[in-house]
Amino acid sequence: MTLGSGQFCTKPGVVFVVDSDPASAFIESAQTQLLAHTPHTLLTPSIRSSYCEQSKHRASEAGLMCTTQDQDFTEVTSALFVTDSDAWRTNPKWEEEIFGPQSMVVMCKDVDDMLAISETLTGSLTATLHTQEGDYPAAKQLLARLEEMAGRVVFNGWPTGVEVSYAMIHGGPYPASTSAASTSVGASAIERWLRPVAYQALPDALLPEALRSGNPLSVPQNFDALG
Strand partners, 52: none
CA-closest candidate to residue 61, choices 14, 105, 21, 93: 93
pLDDT band at 225; cut points 50, 70, 90: confident
Q: Looking at residue 179, what is its pLDDT?
A: 87
**pLDDT, tens digit (0-9, with 9 covering 90-100), for 70-127:** 776 678 999 999 999 999 999 999 999 999 999 999 999 999 999 999 999 999 999 9
Q: Looking at residue 73, what is its pLDDT?
A: 66
Q: Looking at residue 71, what is its pLDDT?
A: 73
% of the chain surpassing 70 pLDDT: 98
pLDDT at 227 > cutoff 60:
no
CA-closest candidate to residue 123, choices 104, 158, 95, 165: 95
Cis status, amide bond into 175, omega within 30 of 0: yes
CA-closest candidate to residue 103, choices 125, 128, 132, 81: 81
pLDDT mean across residues, the chain: 93
127, 154 Cβ separation under 8 angstroms: yes
74, 49 Cβ separation under 8 angstroms: no
pLDDT band at 37; cut points 50, 70, 90: confident
Q: Which of 6-10, 143-147, 151-155, 221-225 is predicted with the least confidence, judged by mean pLDDT?
A: 221-225
Crossing angle of the two packed helices 136-149 and 111-118, in degrees rounded to 10: 10
Kindly state the average pLDDT of the residues 199-210.
94
How far apart, in whole angstroms, are the C-alpha atoms of residue 76 and residue 68?
10
Kindly state the average pLDDT of the residues 123-138.
95
In 3-state terms, the chain is what percent helix, strand and coil (to 5)? Answer: 35, 15, 50
How far apart, in whole angstroms, are the C-alpha atoms of residue 189 and residue 168?
9
How far apart, in whole angstroms, are the C-alpha atoms of residue 205 and residue 203?
5
- Domains (range + CATH), the chain: 3-121 (3.40.309.10)
